[in-house]
Structure 1
Amino acid sequence: MGLVFTILMLVLMIGALIDIITRRDDQVKHLPKMFWIILVIIVPLAGSLIWFLVGREYDQDGIRLPRPRERRSGPPAPTAPPQPGDTRSTEQQIADLDREIEEWRLRAEIEKRKKQQGEAGAE
C-alpha cells in the first residue's frame, strides 16, 4: 500500500512539474512559475494538489492536457506583408526577379572583363 501511494504521489508531482513548466506565464496564477516549481518539489503532495486546484488557469472546457508551445502561440504571422499597390501576379514578380538577377550577373561579368583587360594592358 505504501509503494502504491509513493508511486501515485511521484506521478502527481511529475505531472504537476511538467504542467507548470509547459504553461505560459500568463496561464499561471498567484505565484511565479519558479515558486510553484519549488513548492511542488519541497511539498510534493500538497504542492501538486494546490497547483492543480488554484495555481493554473483552466480554459472554459475545464481540464485539458497542455498543447505543444507551437500551437498555443496563436495563428502564425504572415511571412511577408503584402506590398501595397503591387498588383503583379506571382509569375510576373518571379519574371522580374529573374531579369534583375540576370542584370546583376551581366554587370558582374562586365566588371570582371574590364578588370582582366586592365591587367592585360598593364603588362
Structure 2
Amino acid sequence: MDDKDLEYFRNILQTELDELLNKAGLAVGELIGAAYSNEADPLDRATEEQARNNQLRMRDRESRLIAKIRKCLQSMDDGSYGICEICEEPIGIARLKARPVTSYCITCKTQQEALERVTGA
C-alpha cells in the first residue's frame, strides 16, 4: 500500500472516530438525563426502559467500533495496516474501502465465517 492510500484510509478512520466519540459524548448526557425520568404509567416506563436498552446496545457496538478504529490507526503507525492477521498477505484495496477496519483478507474472512457456521461459534 502506498502513502497516498494509507493517508486516504487514515482520514476515513479518523473522521469516523471523531464522529463516534462526539456521538458517544452526547449519548451519555441523554442517558443520564433519561435515568431521572419519573413516568407514573408502567407502560411508559417500560417503553422508556426498552428505548434505553436499545440505546445502550448501540453504544456498546459503537464502543467496539471505536476500539477497532484505534487499533487500525495504531497499525498504520507501526506499518501493519492492510496486512491480513491470518495469512499475512496484503488485504485488497477494494476490501479496505468496503470495510476499513478489517483485519482479514477476503479469503481468510470467508474461511473463518464458514468455520463459524459449521461449529456454531
TM-score normalised by the chain length of structure 1: 0.30
The structure with the largest alpha-carbon Rg is 1
TM-score normalised by the chain length of structure 2: 0.31
Which structure's relative contact order is higher, taking Cα pairs within 8 Å and 6+ residues apart? 2
Structure with a larger share of its residues in helix = 2
